[in-house]
Chains A and B, each alone.
Chain A
Amino acid sequence: MRLLERLWGQKPSRKSDKKINGTSNYPYAVTRVRAMKSKLLPKESYPRLLNMGIDEITRFIQESEYKNDVDELAMKYSGGDLAEHALNRNLALTYDKLVRITAGELNYLIVAYLKRYDIWNVKTLLRGKLYNASVEDIVESLIAAGEFTYTSMSELAAKATYQEIIEALKYTEYYPLLQKFDGTNLAYIENELDKIYYTGLFEAIGKPRSKDRKLFVKVVRLEVDVKNLINLFRLKKAGVMQLDEIMPLMIEGGLELKPEKLAPLPYDEFVNELQRTQYWDVISGVTGPDMTSLTTLESRLTRYYLESSTILSHVSPISVLPILDYIIHKNNEATNLRIIFRGKEGGLSDELIKDQLVVI
């Protein structure tokens, strides 16, 4: 089939897909990533983790895939900081590995997707500097999985003010936006950074013609929908109804939701409108008027997103989807572990921590 695909690849209808140099070795990359996915923490381990203290959790992850990271950083940090650093380092190394073992089209799509960590880092740096966090605190939250290296990020974190950081990012695509940052509009800049990321990602994918890109774009659009939906619920809950207040917070390019239609509706009508979407089955049980916390709703939507990406990765087993699925699940695992030990550190009850987890 691939031979035929390659022959057909010359036809003009494919021209909208950007030309990629090199060939992707799909079977190699996909099987390797599937083997990596099988090493993620099984769901049975989360109840056990909830019963442990922070040191025990660190010990537990030291015995799993995070061994090298914990060993390496154990000299410098301890307790929650050690686990946090180990998670971030592991995430960065894993994603870096994905970039290394892929080529051509696969590599192109993964690199475009992982730019989200550049955005994350830029946000962290700005936020850290604005609130005078120490260099160590900022470095702790950096995830060098995008195009910026850990060293260059640490150098940026060591700069005295956010103006210097923005100046240092002069040659990046974020500079025109960052210039508008004046120390008071952080929320606006963060939202716009997110939008830049999604616009850039959709641009990188182009008009999807190949099956690969069509499914890839579907997962990204689903993610946009989930994010928009969570934000809409939060805004509705807070009583925000004005269209011009809501729309700047919405990301364009969703799969099914039309934020401009949903935004001005009162809560009841908004929920009714959602009954026609594919998300209704997931959220129907938790959207009643007596809803006090959005945690369950958010974790259900995230779980739906994770499950959908897995299903799609089975629909097209030899494509970029299994790799994207792994990236999403790995990120979820890191988030779960972070929730557990930060929750423990903050003295939250096990029940509360359990509600926040998204366990597949």
Chain B
Amino acid sequence: MVDGATAGLFLDAAGMKALGAAIAIAITGYASAIAEKDIGTAAIGAMAENEGLFGKGLILTVIPETIVIFGLVVALLINQ
């Protein structure tokens, strides 16, 4: 007897969960990469002129990392 919710799909519930988690991680990872790319190059540009900006540059560069952390949290919640 096939479950109504999964009828016509290739994956069962566990498979869909895994796929959902993968999408959550992949897209947020990609998003933070795009955000960090611009901030990182900008930080390097500023550092090239003024080395004292290393600390600030580093912090600003990793702020978009929160996006992928949210993705990770969502992935973990999905798989609970």
Q: What is A's interface to B at a CB cutoff of 8 Å?
A: 2-3, 25, 27-36, 38-39, 101
Contacts and interface: CB of A to CB of B under 8 A. Distances in A.
B49 A39 contact: yes
Contacts, number: 35
A132 B74 CA distance: 79
B34 A3 contact: yes
Contacts of A39: 49
A327 to B, nearest CB: 16
Contacts of B48: 32, 35
A106 B72 CA distance: 38
B27 interface: no
B53 interface: yes
Interface string B32-44: 0010001101111
Nearest to A27: B42
20 contacts: A25-B41, A27-B45, A28-B41, A28-B45, A30-B42, A30-B45, A31-B42, A31-B43, A31-B45, A31-B46, A32-B45, A32-B49, A33-B45, A34-B46, A35-B45, A35-B48, A35-B49, A35-B53, A36-B49, A38-B50
A117 B1 CA distance: 82
Contacts of A27: 38-39, 41-42, 45
B63 to A, nearest CB: 14
Interface residues of B, number: 13
Contacts of A31: 42-43, 45-46
The prevalent SS among residues of A at the interface is helix
Interface of B: 34, 38-39, 41-46, 48-50, 53
Contacts of B53: 35
> Which of B42, B43, B48, B50: most chain A CB closer than 10 A?
B42
Contacts of A32: 45-46, 48-49
> Which of A2, A27, A31, A33: most chain B CB closer than 10 A?
A31
A25 B39 CA distance: 11
A25 B44 CA distance: 12
B32 to A, nearest CB: 14
Nearest to B45: A32
Contacts of A30: 42, 45
